[in-house]
Amino acid sequence: MSKVKRGAVGLLITEITDKAPFDGYTDKKASDAKLLRDVMKKGDVWFNTGDLVRDQGWRHIQFVDRVGDTFRWKGENVATTEVEGALNSYAGIEQAVAYGVEVPGTDGRAGMAALSYVGDKLDGAALAAHLRAQLPAYAIPLFLRLRASRRPRLPSSTARWI
């Protein structure tokens, strides 16, 4: 690790000390995954926020983006795995991948999902209702990329996949 120069983008980390403790998550593995050790000196421990920020000087930072399986939209962190889970639980969706995309003139990234679906068409209104019941409003993808499945359709009486 190295310190970021003013104006550059870097990972926001915060040192864990007696005065600034880290209580951790209920899952010890999840807690340990967020900790960085021996960063600035041997024996120190830092919390990885997962935020990329720009050092603006005068102890000011600007949020730039998230790293990993999340993105930030409307001031909220959106977990792509949660969005994918909601999409994949909808009948007819074969596979879903969620990610954040830049929208000019906005902060953060809007949700986008690439979907493969089985059938002749996808019922967008029903999918939207499903997502509204499963996700907070800020996590519902604003954009969809649709691709019909290449899997052959069999009559339901003979449908078997190996």
DSSP 103-148: -TTSSB-EEEEEEEE-SS---HHHHHHHHHHHS-GGGS-SEEEEEE
Whether 90 has a pLDDT exceeding 80, the answer reads: yes
Q: Which residues of 90-102 are buried (b: 16+ CB within 10 A; e: fewer)?
A: beebeebebbbee
| Pairing, β 60-66 against β 70-73 | unpaired
In a 3-state reduction of DSSP, which class is residue 22?
A: coil
Give the model confidence (pLDDT) of 23-50 as tens digits.
888 888 878 888 899 988 999 999 988 8
Question: Does the pLDDT at position 161 exceed 50?
Answer: no
Q: How confident is the model at residue 153 (pLDDT cuts 50, 70, 90)?
A: low
- Nearest 10 degrees: CA dihedral of 122, 140, 109, 67? -100
pLDDT of 151 above 70: no
The residue ranges of every structural domain in the chain are 9-66, 70-148
The CATH number of the domain covering residues in 70-148: 3.30.300.30
Checking if the pLDDT of 16 tops 50, the result is: yes
Distant-in-sequence, close-in-space partners of 115: CB < 8 Å, separation ≥ 6: 87, 93, 95, 96, 122, 144, 145, 146, 147
Q: pTM, whole model, 2 decimals?
A: 0.59
Q: What is the average pLDDT across 111-123? A: 88
pLDDT of residue 152: 53
CA atoms of 7 and 27, how far apart (whole Å): 36
- Phi/psi region, residue 42 (left: phi>0; alpha: psi -120 to 50; beta: rest), is beta
Q: What is the DSSP letter of 155?
A: -
Task: Yes or no: say if 4 and 10 are a contact pair by the CB < 8 Å rule.
Answer: yes
